[in-house]
């Protein structure tokens, strides 16, 4: 825990912790990034499940993947800033550790989607729909874990 306690003492982190404006702004950015991420993931997964059939799949999927990736990066950066304020406390919370594990699982799901899409022979295309359902469930659970962190 010592390295995490050291992070909490960095000047920038202490300024974030004591600022009347900075912490709420970072928190709002984190919430907005999560909203954009979950929306893009949900729309992407719904398209894979057959919704929005009138829209061409490839451009729709490519746009939403880029949006999801940008939102994820912003959520990670803002999340790291929020984590730094109470790093040693959050790192000991089972719900936080569960959230990090679920995010890793969501990343693996994303990698599987990419592998399936690059498979020219379409040997694994039958996995797209179950992975889409799994993706929605994982990201909704990540959201719930994040909300629990704020209230524990």
Distance of alpha carbon 41 from alpha carbon 65, whole angstroms: 8
C-alpha of 148 from chain center: 15
pLDDT of residue 4: 86
**pLDDT at residue 147 above 80?**
yes
The predicted structure's pLDDT at residue 1: 64
- Whether the model clears a pTM of 0.85, i.e. scores above it, the answer is yes
- Rounded CA-CA distance 92/95 in Å is 9
pLDDT at 120: 67
- Which tens digit of pLDDT belongs to each residue from 48-90? 898 988 988 888 888 999 999 999 999 999 999 999 999 999 9
CA distance 152 to 93: 9
pLDDT, tens digit, for every residue of 93-137?
999 999 999 999 999 998 888 888 777 667 777 888 999 999 999
pLDDT digits (tens, 9 = 90+) for 111-121: 888 888 777 66
Q: What is the pLDDT of residue 75?
A: 96
**pLDDT-based confidence at residue 25 (cuts at 50, 70, 90):** very high
């Amino acid at each position: 825990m010592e390295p995490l306690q050291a992070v909490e003492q960095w000047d920038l982190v202490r300024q974030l912790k004591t600022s009347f404006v900075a912490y709420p702004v970072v928190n709002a950015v984190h919430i907005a990034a999560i909203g954009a991420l979950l929306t893009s993931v949900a729309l992407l997964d719904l398209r894979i499940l057959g919704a929005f059939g009138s829209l061409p799949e490839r451009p729709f999927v490519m746009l939403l993947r880029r949006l999801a990736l940008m939102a994820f990066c912003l959520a990670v950066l803002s999340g790291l800033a929020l984590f730094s304020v109470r790093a040693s406390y959050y790192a000991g919370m089972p719900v936080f550790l569960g959230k990090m594990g679920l995010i890793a699982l969501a990343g693996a799901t994303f990698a599987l989607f990419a592998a399936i899409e690059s498979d020219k022979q379409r040997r694994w295309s039958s996995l797209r729909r179950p992975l889409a359902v799994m993706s929605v469930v994982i990201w909704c659970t990540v959201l719930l874990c994040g909300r629990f962190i704020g209230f524990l």
